[in-house]
Amino acid sequence: MNAVLTVAKELWTSIPLINRLAVYETKIKNKSNYLGSFWEIISPLLFIAIYWFAFGYGIRQRSDVDGIPFLTWMLAGIILWFFIQPGVTNGSKAIFSKIKMISKMNFPTSIIPAYVVISRLFPHLALLAITIVYMQFAGHPISIYYLQIPYFLVAAIMLVISVVMITSTLTVIVRDFQVFIQSSIRVFLYLTPILWPMDNRLPDWLIPVMKINPMYYLVEGYRASFFYGEWYFITNASYTLYFWALVFVLFSIGAVLHVRFRRHFVDFL
């Protein structure tokens, strides 16, 4: 419990530092490319086009999802995926790849995975802005329910930071873990209703199983904000409760692991 408080306090008091380092991280990441940070938006847009072609045009034969065009439906969910997926993979190797930059012991190491995750936020915000503009023309103009978007975004950030708090530590200790994360995270693209809708298509008993995956909550939350016209976190109050309990448990495990090993990170390199 002590460890949880320590890490939470470290993150909370270092928010300005996390932001500055995150800005820096984005700035230098695409330095060697001519198009620079534009790739952060071009590359997901390319994927969106491919997924639309394969799933919307090909497999679904351009059919709607409950009255919403497939592209619109997919876009509302997939933009979150383009934050979570790189957030988890980059965050997992954050400590391993950055620890050498740190030359003093009292640096709050827990902010390293956090700032790497936050740095993925900038491309997401750009994609989100594009999506919001698109929605105005796609017949889902700004409504009061858009106010849920910041909530679900914060929820996504908390989830990803909690997950990488665990994985970044484990990656330092056992290098293979990074490879495992990189390959297993891709599975979630298909286990979350991002490319194909799940309810009404899966047997009733399977839906709760799929909902164990917390990304289900986030993706559906984003969709609710754009076009379901409901306060998703209230109408699904018990799911909200489950989500935050899970985040808390993951964060606690991550914090305990982090505090337990942090002094010895350099010894594992």
Partner 1 sequence: MKKSVVVKNVSKKYKLYDTHAERLKDLLLPKSYGEEFYALHNVSFKADKGDIIGLVGVNGSGKSTLSNIIAGTIPPTKGSVKTNGEAAMISVSTGLNGKLSGRENIELKCLMLGFSKRQIRQMEPDIIEFSELEQFIDQPVKSYSSGMKSRLGFAISITVNPDIFIVDEALSVGDKAFAQKCLDKMHEFEQRGKTMFFVSHSLTQMKEFCNKVIWLEFGEIRAEGEASEILKQYEAFLKEYNAFTPKEKKAFRNQGFEKQSAVRAVTE
Identified binder of partner 1 from the candidate list 3, 7, 11, 21, rule CB under 8 A: 21
Identified binder of partner 1 from the candidate list 62, 100, 186, 260, rule CB under 8 A: 100
Q: Which residues contact 109 (CB under 8 A, 6 or more apart)?
A: 95, 99, 102, 258, 262, 265
Considering only the stretches 73-81, 98-106, 207-215, 221-229, report the one whose residues sit in contact with partner 1 under the rule CB under 8 A.
98-106
Considering only the stretches 18-26, 78-86, 135-143, 225-233, report the one whose residues sit in contact with partner 1 under the rule CB under 8 A.
18-26
Is 156:220 a contact under the CB 8 Å cutoff? no
Residue 11's nearest CA partner among 120, 113, 119 is 113
Segments in 30-175 forming alpha helices (H): 39-51, 70-92, 94-98, 111-119, 121-137, 148-173
Q: Which is nearer to partner 1, 63 or 103 (by Cβ)?
A: 103
Of residues 131 through 190, those in contact with partner 1 by CB under 8 A are 173-174
- Name the amino acid, one letter, at 266: V
Min. distance of Cβ 88 from partner 1 in angstroms? 22
Identified binder of partner 1 from the candidate list 4, 8, 102, 198, rule CB under 8 A: 102
- Name the amino acid, one letter, at 153: L
Is 218:131 a contact under the CB 8 Å cutoff? no
Q: Which is nearer to partner 1, 16 or 67 (by Cβ)?
A: 16
Provide the binding-site residues for partner 1, judged by CB under 8 A: 17, 20-21, 24, 28, 31, 100-107, 173-174, 263-264, 266-267
